[in-house]
Chains A and B, each alone.
Chain A
Amino acid sequence: MAVMTYREALNLALREELTRDPNVFVIGEEVGLYEGAYKVTQGLLKEFGPKRIVDTPIAESGFTGVGIGAAMVGLRPVVEMMTFNFALLALDQIVNSAAKLHYMSGGQYNVPLVIRGPGGPAHQLAAQHSQSMEVYFYHVPGLKVVRPSTPMDAKGLLKAAIRDDNPVIFIESETLYNVKGEVPEDPDFVIPLGQAVVRREGTDVTVVAYMGMMYRAMEAAEELAKDGISVEIVDPRSLQPLDTATIIGSVRKTHRAVVVEAGAGFAGMGSEIATEITEEAFDDLDAPVLRVTGAQAPMPYARNLERAKTPTKEKIADAIRRVCYANGSR
């Protein structure tokens, strides 16, 4: 194990996979000379050269399509979105080609493609640069969607995504790039897609949360422990495929659940997970599943409004108390 930042863990994963497989290459805006808008590709151009680390024009649809075409004929591109907000410009390529080509061609073409970059709420970047993008992708049959919360997950899941023969949407976070954690140095360390992890064990309530929301839920759990509420936190890590077995298993133990997501709640991941729990474990529930989500509004700029828009530790703690019928009573 080595202690490194989330950014460094991603960089290491890329370096290891570029070394392991000559078909892997990185392509995107400023990934080479400038070493990435968030420095995830630092040092890679120098080490692997311009045929493996490819700077593109500002043309998201164009270079995403380039990735798809290259993947169809045998390469394994890692496409960087400077931020995932810009992936909307490539949505047709992602939805209508990457996601569907394997199925639509009767299994003739594989699209082993990773599209990665930061998404989700950031710090005062406002409406167009600070939004949860996963919802646009996990609804689409044929895509896998990953949201890695820790440096270890960032490395292990990115390597699994690169080795996967399908298109994988891999959304990081500006707010996590500097988070430090232990990361295995073993180049064969991968975390299979579709496996949730229990971040904290507890007995009274299951909280499902990922990325920044997972860290806020952990803080809320610490606080509630003082009140005698034992919170279990499940981090799904992959949203598609979603490890419902781990989530349901936890709920069968705690009998209560809160789902947290940073994005707007309507028809979001919280809705999906709440439905899965209701369908699979209704008889195990002692209370309705609650969601804590972002407000149904674009991300505002002002710091206080940004805080009002986003789930906070306090909002999460309040929902946990309510689902435990402990609101005001303890």
Chain B
Amino acid sequence: MTLDKARLVQMLRTMILIREFDERAIQLRLAGKIYGTVHPYVGQEAVAVGVSAQLSVTDRVTSTHRGHGHCIAKGADIRRMMAELFGRVDGYCKGKGGSMHIADFAVGMLGANGIVGGGLPIACGAALAGQLEGKGAVTVCFFGDGAAAEGEFHESLNIASLWKLPIVFVCENNQYAANNPVGVQHPRVDIAAHAAPYDMPGVGVDGNDVLAVHAATADAVTRARRGDGPSLLECKTYRWHFHAMRAARPPETRPAEEIASWKAGDPIARLEQHMVGRALLSPDELRAIRDRVGAELDEAVAFAEASPFPDPKDLMADMFAR
């Protein structure tokens, strides 16, 4: 399927927004404007965007500690995301969740999850509910290569296949589980190969090619909506920055050549080149997109700064439902 200009512009815009959101978050963290920890998604934008472009608002996603990209791609409001990073009352979680727990019920974003692998069974539960609802809702479960070593990965693939759940498991293999390379954590670095024993399709995808991710997701989502069960996509990508930062950037331990070679395959530049090649993007249009993203981020930061901190009186609010 060849995507038209409007769709491509939308995807490019979202990828740029994700990148600039996290670049901004790093700067705000360094400046002491936001606290806690930040796990930047920079470099992996093609995965969240390529996958989410196949979903509707009634479809659901679970995310990870590196979840800002998934939130934005699923349609979350960056002003409320930024307010959450600032720990303010207008944040998605009223300042009680922070970066690793952003959720947006309204767009089917079931939440980032600070526990590696923790989202996999929860995604299966949402998919089970979708199956029982019978309205064709699909759940996408984002997780990293590190999670594939967790028991919950295997439990979830087994359960999902056994019950033919409408779910797509999307592994973002960014080559590092926290700070150790994937090769020292798996005897064979082929996450997609785990699909076969669980009797589901497993596809390795160039995770820096948003169009390839989009196409592979189409097959998996179609299969899930048809009631034929789950699929596993392994999107091979790379995080440009550190695993996590607090007050300062941690020292880089990865080989410089490796970083340079992945940056040369920048997923945003690749989409831009594709669009320029098809005469679908002029330098003016690109500049306009970038300016608009910058303005939206300025607005989000202003929104966050203007939002009050939570009232200590509300410490015990939302402990229990009702």
Partners in one complex: yes
Task: Kindly list chain A residues whose C-beta atoms are within 8 Å of the C-beta of B97.
Answer: 104-106
Contact A107 to B317, CB < 8 A, known contacts A61-B155, A65-B122, A73-B60: yes
Q: Which of A51, A62, A102, A165 has the most CB of B within 10 A?
A: A62
Whether the Cβ atoms of A69 and B93 lie closer than 8 Å is: no
- The distance in angstroms between the C-alpha atoms of A61 and B114, with both chains bound, is 16
Q: Smallest CB–CB gap between A100 and chain B, Å? A: 8
> Of B94, B110, B118, B129, which is within 8 A of A109 by CB?
B110
Task: Kindly list chain B residues whose C-beta atoms are within 8 Å of the C-beta of A72.
Answer: 110, 122, 125-126
Q: Does B318 sit within 8 A of A, measured CB to CB?
A: yes
What number of A residues sit within 8 Å (CB to CB) of B?
A: 42
Closest residue of B by beta carbon distance from A61: B152
Q: Does B156 sit within 8 A of A, measured CB to CB?
A: yes
Q: Smallest CB–CB gap between B58 and chain A, Å? A: 10
- The distance in angstroms between the C-alpha atoms of A158 and B182, with both chains bound, is 46
Whether the Cβ atoms of B156 and A104 lie closer than 8 Å is: no
Q: Could you give, for residues 120-162 of chain B, a 1 whenever the CB lies within 8 Å of some chain A CB and a 0 otherwise?
A: 1111111111101000000100000000000110011011001
- The distance in angstroms between the C-alpha atoms of A97 and B124, with both chains bound, is 14
Contact A96 to B158, CB < 8 A, known contacts A62-B124, A105-B105: no
Closest residue of B by beta carbon distance from A111: B321
- The distance in angstroms between the C-alpha atoms of A69 and B113, with both chains bound, is 13
Tell me the residues in window 302-319 of chain A with beta carbons closer than 8 Å to chain B beta carbons: none
Task: Kindly list chain B residues whose C-beta atoms are within 8 Å of the C-beta of A96.
Answer: 114-115, 118
What number of B residues sit within 8 Å (CB to CB) of A?
A: 45
> Of B103, B113, B322, which is within 8 A of A165 by CB?
B322
Task: Kindly list chain A residues whose C-beta atoms are within 8 Å of the C-beta of B110.
Answer: 69, 72-73, 109
Whether the Cβ atoms of B321 and A70 lie closer than 8 Å is: no
> Of B96, B124, B319, which is within 8 A of A66 by CB?
B124
- The distance in angstroms between the C-alpha atoms of A166 and B321, with both chains bound, is 6
Q: Smallest CB–CB gap between A149 and chain B, Å? A: 24
Whether the Cβ atoms of A70 and B128 lie closer than 8 Å is: yes
Task: Kindly list chain A residues whose C-beta atoms are within 8 Å of the C-beta of B95.
Answer: 106
Whether the Cβ atoms of A105 and B126 lie closer than 8 Å is: no
Q: Does A57 sit within 8 A of B, measured CB to CB?
A: yes
Whether the Cβ atoms of B318 and A68 lie closer than 8 Å is: no
Whether the Cβ atoms of B104 and A57 lie closer than 8 Å is: no
Whether the Cβ atoms of B94 and A68 lie closer than 8 Å is: no
Whether the Cβ atoms of A66 and B159 lie closer than 8 Å is: yes
Task: Kindly list chain B residues whose C-beta atoms are within 8 Å of the C-beta of A71.
Answer: 125
Whether the Cβ atoms of A105 and B319 lie closer than 8 Å is: no
Contact A59 to B126, CB < 8 A, known contacts A105-B97, A106-B93, A165-B322: no
Q: Does B101 sit within 8 A of A, measured CB to CB?
A: yes
Q: Smallest CB–CB gap between A235 and chain B, Å? A: 23
> Of A62, A66, A101, A108, which is within 8 A of B92 by CB?
A108
Q: Could you give, for residues 278-311 of chain A, a 1 whenever the CB lies within 8 Å of some chain B CB and a 0 otherwise?
A: 0000000000000000000000000000000000
Total A-B residue pairs with C-beta atoms closer than 8 Å?
143
> Of B118, B124, B321, which is within 8 A of A102 by CB?
B321
Q: Smallest CB–CB gap between B319 and chain A, Å? A: 6
Whether the Cβ atoms of A105 and B124 lie closer than 8 Å is: no
Tell me the residues in window 289-322 of chain B with beta carbons closer than 8 Å to chain A beta carbons: 317-322
Tell me the residues in window 44-63 of chain B with beta carbons closer than 8 Å to chain A beta carbons: 60, 62
Task: Kindly list chain B residues whose C-beta atoms are within 8 Å of the C-beta of A105.
Answer: 92-93, 97, 101, 103, 105, 111
Q: Which of A69, A75, A93 has the most CB of B within 10 A?
A: A69
Closest residue of A by beta carbon distance from B162: A57
Q: Does A83 sit within 8 A of B, measured CB to CB?
A: no
Task: Kindly list chain A residues whose C-beta atoms are within 8 Å of the C-beta of B114.
Answer: 96
Whether the Cβ atoms of B321 and A65 lie closer than 8 Å is: no
- The distance in angstroms between the C-alpha atoms of A220 and B320, with both chains bound, is 38
Whether the Cβ atoms of B155 and A62 lie closer than 8 Å is: yes
Q: Smallest CB–CB gap between A307 and chain B, Å? A: 37
Whether the Cβ atoms of B121 and A63 lie closer than 8 Å is: yes
Q: Smallest CB–CB gap between B87 and chain A, Å? A: 12
Whether the Cβ atoms of B122 and A69 lie closer than 8 Å is: yes
Q: Does B202 sit within 8 A of A, measured CB to CB?
A: no
Contact A103 to B318, CB < 8 A, known contacts A69-B110, A73-B60, A75-B132: yes
- The distance in angstroms between the C-alpha atoms of A110 and B321, with both chains bound, is 6
Whether the Cβ atoms of B152 and A62 lie closer than 8 Å is: yes
Whether the Cβ atoms of A65 and B320 lie closer than 8 Å is: no
Q: Smallest CB–CB gap between A57 and chain B, Å? A: 6
Q: Does A112 sit within 8 A of B, measured CB to CB?
A: yes
Q: Does B91 sit within 8 A of A, measured CB to CB?
A: yes
Task: Kindly list chain B residues whose C-beta atoms are within 8 Å of the C-beta of A51.
Answer: 132
Q: Could you give, for residues 131-151 of chain A, a 1 whenever the CB lies within 8 Å of some chain B CB and a 0 otherwise?
A: 000000000011010000000
Q: Does A47 sit within 8 A of B, measured CB to CB?
A: no
> Of A65, A112, A165, A166, which is within 8 A of B124 by CB?
A65
Q: Smallest CB–CB gap between A123 and chain B, Å? A: 31
> Of A61, A102, A165, which is within 8 A of B151 by CB?
A61
- The distance in angstroms between the C-alpha atoms of A173 and B270, with both chains bound, is 61
- Shortest 9 CB-CB contacts between residues of A and residues of B: A65-B121, A69-B125, A62-B155, A165-B321, A106-B94, A69-B122, A59-B155, A106-B93, A107-B318
